[in-house]
Amino acid sequence: MLRQLHQQITAIALATTVFTAILSRPAAAADSFNLHEATITSIQEAFNSGLLNSQKLVQLYLNRINAYDPLLNSIISINPNALAEAAALDAERATSGARSMLMGIPILIKDNIDTSFLPTTAGFLGLKDSLPPDNATIAQKLIDAGAIILGKTSLTEFANYLTSGMPAGYNSMNGYTLNPYNPVLQPNSDGRPLLSPGGSSAGSGSACAANLATICIGTETSGSILSPSNQNSLVGIKPTVGLWSRDGIIPIAASQDTAGPMTRTVTDAAILLGALTGVDPKDSQTNTQIGLAKTDYTPYLKTDALVGAKLGYYTKPNSNTANGAEQLNIFNTAINKIRSLGATVTEIAFTPQNNSSTVLPYEFKRDLNLYLASLGSSAEIQSMEDVYSFINQYLIDNPDPNGPFKYGKVRIDASRLIDLSPSSADTLKYLNDRALDLQNSQTLGIDKFLADNGLDAILYSGTAGAGIGAKAGYPTVIVQAGYQTLNNLNPLGISFLGKAYQEDKLLGYAYAYEQGSLVRQAPSSTPALTGEFITAVPGPLPVMGVGGAFLWSRRLRRRINSGAELINIPLDAILPSQKV
């Protein structure tokens, strides 16, 4: 029996290899597929072999969303046309092949990224019905590549710039997002989670960790990709400002804003990163990438990428507390692993200069007003002043101190009073502060630290260096490093920070570390559901040559593409397009 099974599997493997070569697919074929922790590559292999199609894949993720997101609360809206889009992509693949590695891949994007078919809210009640006139540039690039935007994820309201003191992942539309590594509430609290999901891209972090989509996108002004990636044991890329277009993204500050990948593996992050680069006439900052950006970062993913690398760090966890001691142990373990993979790692004394900058509040008013005005004269909210007025009126009409705006709006209160006129004192201070930010973060900061010490990149634990990288507009890649048993099972990452447009180098380092450590563990609160493991087991078959196996594989592909079920998976109804 074992010999016969081996012969069948061998024949099927040979057949699917031939099948793949004939159809010129973007990846190899597979004889089984597991949705749990699935990657772009494993999905494309399953597509190639006929084990899977996009419709089935979308349904499997919808099943997980139905099962787990009522607890996690990571998603604000679901694309009601996702299954229909998947069907169209399946038909196109059958006749024309795949457009790209993203074709048929379900992705969740943060709900401050414009889509013309789903509201873009930033988590703000006043924008709950706001349909932008068109898609953000990166959203359109996803669609053009054949990706399926499955839905939009929750976030700290206005990307954590409505107020101070708001818990990561909270907003007036959707409440709190929970972390799948410990999805419980703090006892005797205001309802916030015990383990923070990180913010502001909390929903993208929680959903990606819980396998509610293949890949996710977050946005960052300072730490908002890196923090939830750290908290949810993900790979996150905060790209160089200008690598991805910011057109159609609800802003905080153009000087620092960027979107970026949030994934479970470095390879998936690299694939997604390259797919969305490019100069965009709607975002002049993208002109800075000419001659520097790549459209494919996967060639830089090598297991020996750390050999000969010179890395340094100037900050590490404080060991004065039990949690800090555990964090330091995880950090030191990661450093030792990086050394064992061929890098030189040195601790170097350095204190980054910082100033009390007005850049974010100034640009928040300027840039948010520009975005809201672009929604058109029929939009209910057309300016920051309208945001301010909406909240005030809501509080008058609904005076509950525990209502959706219970954390206030102090950053809106401050930003709205800034004078944006060219010669105002506020503008002059802003220009001076921006120059200081660049000097302290670039010239006297990262550039100096690297040059003076002959280093290739900077290492830091978790998000400890996120601020200086954000002000510089420089890239960071964070990858999983470990889990804190004393701190509510909190994951911890290690970050690689470099100079502008060095994503290729940083991804190589992160990949080599990832493959050398293999730290990531999926959260136990969101296990695999029935039907997520698919195998090509045809039942008793005679031993076949390559030709017979090829015909069987072709029949299997026909069954999948015609919608036939290999296993019994309930086709749950699509979630409503808006959760209120």
Give strand pairing partners of 148: 106
Which string of b and e fits 192-227 if b means at least 16 CB within 10 Å?
Answer: bbbbbbbbbbbbbbbbbbbbbbbbbbbbbbbbbbbb
For the question of residue 365 being annotated catalytic, the response is no
DSSP annotation of 573: P
27, 48 contact by CB (below 8 A)? yes
User: Which residues is 484 bridged to in the sheet?
Assistant: 490
Helix (H, G, I), strand (E, B) or coil at 226: helix
Q: Could you write out the three-class secondary structure of 253-318?
A: CCCCCEEEEEECCHHHHHHHHHHCECCECCEHHHHHHCCCCCCCCHHHCCCCCCCCCEEEECCCCC
| β-bridge pairing 533-535 and 490-497 | unpaired
| Catalytic residue of the set 110, 294, 365, 471 | 110
Name, in order, each residue with C-beta under 8 angstroms of 556's C-beta and a sequence gap of 6 or more. Answer: 50, 51, 536, 538
DSSP state, residue 439: I
Residue with tokens 């139905």: 66
Element (H, E) at 205: helix 202-209
> Residue 351: is it exposed, middle or buried by C-beta count within 10 angstroms (0-12/13-18/19+)?
exposed
Task: For residues 522 and 404, give the distance between their C-alpha atoms in angstroms, rounded to a whole number.
Answer: 32
Is the preceding omega at residue 577 within 30 degrees of 0, hence cis? no
Among 77, 196, 200, 227, the active-site one is: 200
Q: What are phi and psi of 436, to 5 degrees?
A: -65, -40
Cβ within 8 Å of residue 411, ≥6 positions away: 161, 162, 163, 164, 361, 364
Catalytic-residue membership of 141: no
How many residues can be counted in the chain? Answer: 580
3-class DSSP string for 78-139: ECCCHHHHHHHHHHHHHHHCCCCCCCCCEEEEECCECCCCCCCCCCCHHHCCCCCCCCCHHH
Q: Tokens 């390259």 correspond to what residue?
A: 274
Phi, psi of 217 (to 5 degrees): -125, 135
Strands 490-497 and 476-484: antiparallel
Look up residue 102 and give its two tokens. 């993203």
DSSP string, 442-472: IIIIIHHHHHHHT-SEEEEETTTTHHHHHHH
Q: Of these residues, 130, 204, 224, 227, which one is catalytic?
A: 224
Active site residue 110: yes
DSSP conformation class of 575:
P
Residues annotated as catalytic (active site), given as ranges: 110, 200, 224
